[in-house]
Amino acid sequence: MKLLPHWVSRPALVALLAALVVGAVLPKVLGLSVYSQNQVTETFLFVAAALAWNWMGGYLGQVSFGHSAMFGLGGFISARLLLALHLPFWLAWIVGGLVAAAYALVWGHPTLRLRGPYFSIATIGVGEATRLVMTYWEDLTGGSSGLSLPITPGLKSELYWWALALMALVIAASYSLRKSTFGLGLLAIKSDVDAAADVGISPTLMQDIVLLLSGFTVGVCGAFYASYQNFIEPGDMFGFDRSISFVLMAVIGGVGTIIGPALGAVVFVMLRQYLIGSYPQLYLGIYGLLLIVVILFEPLGMMGLFFRIARRFGLMRPEVEATLEAKAAVGGGAADPGARQGGAP
């Protein structure tokens, strides 16, 4: 009897297990300092957040600049529960994620009827409106003073393992969405929403479901971030730079892929530490410039570069690269293979 669905490949499962083993032995083998281990914990967290954003921007083709709304809401709901009810932190994370998912559905159900840049512009408005409301909602967020959580000795060391588990779950969910029938439906909607509806796919329902899942996961990541930082404030949690960071991580690595956003998150965390330390007033502008450069010159990000190298050495057929490029197109439908080869439109 098969324990796994037919679309689960053994190499992918082995690769995930190997990555988890590496993550588990990393602190002991390398003898990581407390600072380095905290950086790895943060990297695991942002890998999960980038992959959750990728479900919208990569699989569905709806580029959201408003995911900071769910990230921040999950963080503050979790923090308030921890302060008021002293819940176990993992339970507070789940509740924060559920509230963030519900909020995502409230604004997402009407705005998902928009496509392309219109949806992206709408999400910018949602994110900024949420930031302003939460900044003045002092009973929830503490206003500009923020919220401080109790500092628990040894908590950050424990959160390393929670972050590793969270990343593993999101990677598995990303693979499931990408390979399952549901994921194929998302790709069909991304390619042509009207054609997808004509063949029996429900774009409204499927878009709502994937936004619900993405909002929940990003909300959990925000709740994790609150426990990790011990102090949060609306400008950081709901800021536009937070939303840009989710987009940038996926674009740097390769939108629409599974490995790409994970690689992009690793690069982003390292790059952010350098930019904030060296150019504290300019780092957001540098992010925007980097985003433009990647989209213009290497739309598939790091994965696109790997594809080109593989093709140069004869390790990948051109048609395979074309298919991957079409599936990972940023915010739009897949390219028409016939058009790419000079065929009739």
305-299-123 Cα angle (round to 5): 140
- Region 178-184: mean pLDDT is 86
Instruction: Please tell me whether the overall predicted TM-score, pTM, comes out greater than 0.95 for this model.
Output: no
pLDDT for 319 equals: 57
Residue 283 has pLDDT above 80, yes or no: no
pLDDT for 209 equals: 94
What span, in angstroms and rounded, lies between the C-alpha atoms of 270 and 222?
20
- What pLDDT, in 10s, does the model give residues 203-258? 889 999 999 999 999 999 999 999 999 899 999 999 888 988 898 888 888 888 88
pLDDT for 48 equals: 95
Residue 80 has pLDDT above 50, yes or no: yes
Band (pLDDT 50/70/90 cuts) for residue 330 is very low
Residues 6+ apart with CB under 8 A from 225: 45, 71, 75, 232, 237
User: For all residues of the chain together, what is the average pLDDT?
Assistant: 83
Percentage, residues of the chain above pLDDT 90: 37
Residue 105 has pLDDT above 80, yes or no: yes
Structure tokens at 105: 């559905």
Band (pLDDT 50/70/90 cuts) for residue 329 is low
pLDDT for 338 equals: 36
Radius of gyration of the chain (CA): 20
Q: CB 238: neighbour CB atoms within 10 A? A: 30
pLDDT for 335 equals: 38
- Region 327-331: mean pLDDT is 50
Buried (b) or exposed (e) across 2-30, using 16+ Cβ within 10 A? eeeeeeeeeebeeeeeeeeeebeebbeee
Q: CB 276: neighbour CB atoms within 10 A? A: 10
